[in-house]
Amino acid sequence: MEFRHLRYFLMLAEELHFGRAAQRLAISQPPLSLNIQQLEASVGATLFNRNSRGVQLTAAGLAFVPAARALLAQASAAAREARDVAEGQSGQLHIGFAGTMLYCGLPQIMSRFQASHPRLRLVLRELSSTEQLSELLRDRLDVGFVHTPRVPPGFEQILVASQPLVACLPLGHALAQAPSLSLAQLRGQDLVVVSRTVSPDYHERILMLCEQAGWMPQGVHELRHWLSVVSLVSQGLGVALVPQALQQSALAGAVFVPLDAVDVRYDTRCLWRSDRDQTALKDFVQAVQADAAGV
């Protein structure tokens, strides 16, 4: 059974006349008759009675009409969905992100992109940079926002943001009201830092900065999320060096102070696999590029 058979059947069921049905289909009568015969053979039932009085639907033919219409409608919807996915207007786009992207423009990018792609479903997954790279390699993510310079071959990238690290202090800390401070002024403090397993690059960089400033923390608290780092500091359990964007978290009890003579930047990169040929992904990357360029 082919879709052509269904179209021919429905036209004949409407006209109940081979000549008129063939004319509307822009074919001659013999091909129409042959296709109806092929359909009846495929169905295993006679769909039309043909006699001197004309053409009439059999009981089987009457029952087959709504089913044939539904099949053609489903085929049309499937073809339309495939075209929309190919054009980037439908389907799903799986996006990985590290938590700080919530304060680095991701919600705004998502909102603008969704407005131009209302039927495309955006699926967000908060993952560490290491986890995102693993998921991208397994094709479980289409695009990711990571905080690591160690990008494996086969990826394209956009530098989305580059921000300084700032000191995060409890509200009641003696240096909380300082206009800026040096790392040496934090000597003797417990340090709250993102876990080495989650962000090995920045975990090591922060400890290295402390060592270069001539001190090592009395205690080190390791947490999985930057927002958790700020939350722990806000409760007076240490100090931290965090990306500047976390000032927007507005957690009560936490104060952010600029650092003097610290040149480490917290970079955010948008990554996707070079071999991915997907219109929705290309459109999303263009939206990220426009945002990064301030368009």
pTM higher than 0.85: no
- Domain count along the chain: 2
Q: For residue 15, give the H/E element and its range.
A: helix 3-15
Same domain? 122 vs 63: no
Same domain? 183 vs 289: yes
pLDDT tens-place string over residues 4-45: 888 888 888 888 888 898 999 899 999 989 988 998 888 889
Q: Is the pLDDT of residue 77 over 80?
A: no
pLDDT tens-place string over residues 241-292: 999 999 988 889 999 999 998 888 899 999 999 988 788 899 999 999 888 7
CATH number at residue 71: 1.10.10.10
pLDDT at 61: 87
278 vs 56, residue with greater confidence: 56
Same domain? 162 vs 56: no
Query: What mean pLDDT, rounded, does the chain reach?
Result: 88
Return the structure tokens found at 270: 């948008």
pLDDT tens-place string over residues 80-112: 766 766 665 658 899 999 888 888 889 999 999
Range of the domain at 59: 3-86
Residue where a domain terminates, one of 44, 66, 86: 86
Q: Residue 221: beta bridge partners?
A: 192
Q: Is the pLDDT of residue 295 over 60?
A: no
Q: Residue 272: beta bridge partners?
A: 156
Same domain? 20 vs 158: no
Give the pairing type, strands 155-170 and 120-126. unpaired
Same domain? 75 vs 123: no
Same domain? 218 vs 78: no
Same domain? 198 vs 266: yes
Same domain? 72 vs 155: no
Return the structure tokens found at 268: 């955010």
Query: 155 and 183 in contact (C-beta within 8 Å)?
Result: no
Closest CA to 132 of 105, 158, 151, 114: 151
